[in-house]
Structure 1
Amino acid sequence: MGVTVLQIFPDESRSGYQETEKLHKRIMHLDAMQSGMFIVDCDSYYTTAQNGAGQHRRLHIVHNSETPATTYAIIDTGTKQVTLSADLLFDFILPRFDHMYQSKKNLKIESKGSRYEIGDFVVKIGTVTMSGHYKGILKLR
């Protein structure tokens, strides 16, 4: 079980990257050992046709560097979500769904940063970007 904290910094006087660096320094002062990097990315797709309720279904494809051989898919119908865990080859099937799902242009969400080990805990600190624009800080404990 883990804890995830996403902090959004709308205040222009504070830079999110500077705040991230502060967090890196603080955890290093606690004698945490850096154990690598992590990357999580998400691509979103939308149905080309509406369902009976007049809503588009969304399909989110998620990759995590902690589980490199797995692709996660989340199908959002508006009323419920279905989560699928599949082999990495699932990405090669997606072009066959182009008649049902189309990619949301210029929408890629990515979180990347450093991974630390402190005792029995793993702490991940990184930045969240959407289509290359900074959005916030991600802290996983």
Structure 2
Amino acid sequence: MGVTCVSQVPVAEGKSVQQTVDILHRKLEQLGAVKQGNFCVDCETYHAAGTTSGQPPKFLYVMHNSETPLSCMGMFEGGPCLIADGNFDVLMVKLKSHFQNAKGHKVETRGARYQYCDFLVKVGTVTMSSSARGISVEVSKAKEEQMIEV
């Protein structure tokens, strides 16, 4: 199992989110990184319906990743995680009496994938309600089958 590091990158002073992302792309390309396409990760928040009075609401986060299009991940706040097939969203619709979608709380990260030596670097713009909120950078060791010769 490899190691992945995801970091939030501050927006450059006097620059917009997109301008800062463009600067990061240029720096990666100057280092010799090769663009390999795009990625998208989204997260929808659900809250437990009909919580007991005095109890804080429990949240369920459902995430989709373009790197694993046939599956999605569910994470309970302070509890277990699960990996399910892509049709988990259909189940969530059927469970609407137990979990309700928290409208306006969908978070999405979209961006470009780069291969740099034996690392995979993803630079993405984090949006919530179609408003840019920040920048994420994910660095992971590329799998042997993903590596390209340099």
Q: Normalised by the size of structure 2, how large is the TM-score?
A: 0.86
Aligned residue in 1 for 2:145: none
Match of 2:95 among 94, 97, 100: 97
SS of equivalent to 1:107: coil
Aligned residue in 1 for 2:25: 24
Query: Where does 1:113-128 land on structure 2 (aligned, <5 Å)?
Result: 113-128=111-126
The 1:66/1:133 distance shift into structure 2, 3 A limit, reads same
SS of equivalent to 1:27: helix
2:69 aligned with 1:68, yes or no? Answer: yes
2:35 aligned with 1:37, yes or no? Answer: no
Contact 2:46–2:60 (Cα < 8 Å) also in 1: yes
- Unmatched segments (≥5 aa) in structure 2: 140-150
Contact 2:12–2:20 (Cα < 8 Å) also in 1: no
- After superposition, the C-alpha distances for 1:46-105 in whole angstroms (9 at most, x for unaligned) are 1112247511111111000111111100111xxx22111011121111111110111111
The 1:41/1:15 distance shift into structure 2, 3 A limit, reads same
- Unmatched segments (≥5 aa) in structure 1: none
Aligned residues: 137
- Give the counterpart letter for 2:91 in structure 1: I
Q: Normalised by the size of structure 1, how large is the TM-score?
A: 0.91
2:2 aligned with 1:4, yes or no? Answer: no
- After superposition, the C-alpha distances for 1:21-66 in whole angstroms (9 at most, x for unaligned) are 0000000011111001000001111111224751111111100011
- Give the counterpart letter for 1:6 in structure 2: Q
2:49 aligned with 1:48, yes or no? Answer: yes
Match of 1:130 among 108, 128, 132: 128
CA RMSD of aligned residues (A): 1.6
